[in-house]
Structure 1
Amino acid sequence: MHIGKAIRLERIFNRNTGRTIVIPMDHGVTVGPIDGLVNMRDAVGKVVDGGANAVIEHKGLVRCGHRAQGRDIGLIVHLSASTSLSPFPNAKTLVASVEDAVRLGADAVSIHCNLGDETEAAMLNDFGKMASDAANWGMPLLAMVYARGPKIPNEFDANVVAHCARVGTELGADVVKVPYTGDIDTFAHVCDSCCIPVVIAGGPKLDNTTDFLQMVHDSIKAGGAGLSVGRNVFQHKNPTRLVEALNMIVHEDKTVAAALTHLNG
């Protein structure tokens, strides 16, 4: 591996555990300034205080979340986007470059690809180009790969998720983000099908924090490398405390019960 890429990966992954807690904060382009992401310095500060490894932001948002004090946190610049106002919200298009991320001091870049969408070919083309650019710059690439389209009856189906993870691997990503399949055995199949770290997405906002922590715990037990979860973290009533609890599960191999005790303590 390129030494620059290795160094940058160590800024978004815990060196000792090989796992990561990533908090995406790129939702503003998709759905606007939702609760938890109005004041970006405050939002970033809360997850930094909890011990998150990295945040994901669009290029223009980096200046809004940069705190210039306190603990550091890994920065992942997101390269693709769409809005919920579009008639084709699953069609992601490039809105930034690897060079933009380099200028912003990023530790990694990320791209979103929806397999099964009518515009899949264009997204795969963008994915391939950004993987090549990232490799040339020694920049780690996190690929968010989901199955969303008219031929996809269940995007959480284990074989479908494994296909998504494999696409991310084969097209050159360094980390792939996919939905959790719902149980340890099937998600273990997803992880075993890749030679790169697999992290889970959070999906819609969950009402039950216990279920969220259990999902994270089970994904780790299956061989996952952590999580890349936004709303279930930054919209929690106490994001800092929740990230601390996630650290107990992801980096300390603590039980869900122990994490809940800390969260509610």
Structure 2
Amino acid sequence: MNSKIKEIISYYDSDNPGVRSNLVKILNHGKLAGTGHLVILPVDQGFEHGPAKSFSMNKHAYDPEYHISLALEAGLSAYAAPLGMLEVVAAKYAGEIPFILKINSSNSLSANSSDYDQAVTASVEDALRLGCSAIGFTIYPGSDRANDMIEEIQKISLEAKRNGLAIVIWSYPRGRGISKKGETAIDVIAYAAHIAALIGAHIIKVKLPSSDLELSENKGVYEKNSIKVKLLAERVHHIMSSAFAGKRMVLFFRRGI
């Protein structure tokens, strides 16, 4: 518990010792331990896109042990996966890396462009049984089902926090009111990060934003208030500001990295 980790944990004073201990466990694991930075390996691609599309380019990737071994070898902060994948590896790798149970998922077989949603596929009880430090949950701000997803995680996160588990929220804007380009626009990503913080996420995962502005009413706001978004560092700073002025941890995802 160096001064940096103590500062971060101080932002979560409303949480019980179990939640705070699990956050410290994640922050103090791997090559970035103690720096206040995180790298988490999430492996839910098979659910989202199917096994062949996700793993056929590397036959070893069909095996759940491949992914957790990769996370360990790389010295990552935590490993996140759906229920079945963690059930394969949890006993063998118990205590070697913090686990995050991804408790909802979608699949491309039932995709609907205007009705983005995910099915709840695991529980807080499963996370405790498998020795997880946190649960992960995806919401789609902008979807017709966004409010339903937010209500789902509110009920689940109450149980999780009571049992000492941290909450990681994937906040990915999409829906018929948001263009494909707008899914990574700086104003939309900032909004998505803020929503995740507002509903109680300890760690927020968003896509790396572009400098585009999606919502017409925001263009004047950004210009009037001199919000700088031209440089990537400026955009990251703006997202962190939207996550309670940096008082919530934010992970950035960019496809291909």
- TM-score range relative to shorter protein: 0.7 to 0.9
Secondary structure of 1:106's counterpart equals coil
Tell which has more relative contact order, 1 or 2 (C-alpha 8 A, sep 6+).
Answer: 1
Gaps of 5+ in 1: 207-211, 213-265
Residues 26-65 of structure 1 mapped to structure 2, 5 A cutoff = 26-33=44-51, 34-35=54-55, 37-65=61-89
Tell me which amino acid in the other structure corresponds to 1:202: R
- Matched to 2:40, the amino acid is V
* Inter-partner Cα distance in structure 2 for 1:127 and 1:100: 15
Distance 1:165 1:100 in 2: 27
Q: Which amino acid letter does the alignment assign opposite residue 35 of structure 2?
A: T
Bigger CA radius of gyration? 2
Q: Secondary structure at the match of 2:108?
A: coil
Give, in angstroms, the shift of residue 82 of structure 1. 1.2
Pairing 1:10–2:24 present: yes
Name the TM-score, length of structure 2 as normaliser: 0.74
Q: What is the CA deviation profile of residues 135-184 of structure 1, one whole-angstrom value per residue up to 9, with x for unaligned ones?
A: 21121000000110111121111111111001110101100001111411
Q: Which residue does the alignment assign to 2:188?
A: 160
Aligned to 1:149: 175
Aligned positions of 1:90-239 closer than 5 A? 90-153=116-179, 154-182=182-210, 183-194=232-243, 195-203=247-255, 206=256, 212=257
Letter in 1 for 2:17: I
- TM-score with structure 1 setting the length: 0.72
TM-superposed CA distance for 1:3, in Å, is: 1.0
The alignment's C-alpha RMSD in Å is 1.9
| Contact preservation (8 Å) 1:174, 1:197 | yes
**C-alpha separation between the residues in 2 aligned to 1:63 and 1:120?**
29
Alignment partners' CA distance in 2, 1:69 and 1:109:
18
Deviation of 1:40 (Å): 1.3
2-structure distance, mates of 1:129, 1:66: 25
Contact 2:65 2:89 in 1 (8 A): yes
Shift >4 Å, 4+ stretches = none
Aligned residues: 205
**1:230-265, CA deviations, whole angstroms, 9 ceiling, x for partnerless residues?**
xxxxxxxxxxxxxxxxxxxxxxxxxxxxxxxxxxxx
Q: Deviations over 1:27-51 (max 9, x none)?
A: 2222222225301112211221110
Conserved 8 A contact 1:76-1:109: yes
Taking a change above 3 Å as real, the CA distance of residues 125 and 69 of structure 1, as seen in their structure-2 partners, is closer
Structure 2 residues without counterparts, runs of 5 or longer: 1-14, 211-231
Give 1:70 shift: 9.7
Identity %: 24
SS of aligned partner of 1:20: coil
For residues 69 and 140 of structure 1, do their structure 2 counterparts lie closer, same or farther at Cα, with a shift above 3 Å needed?
closer
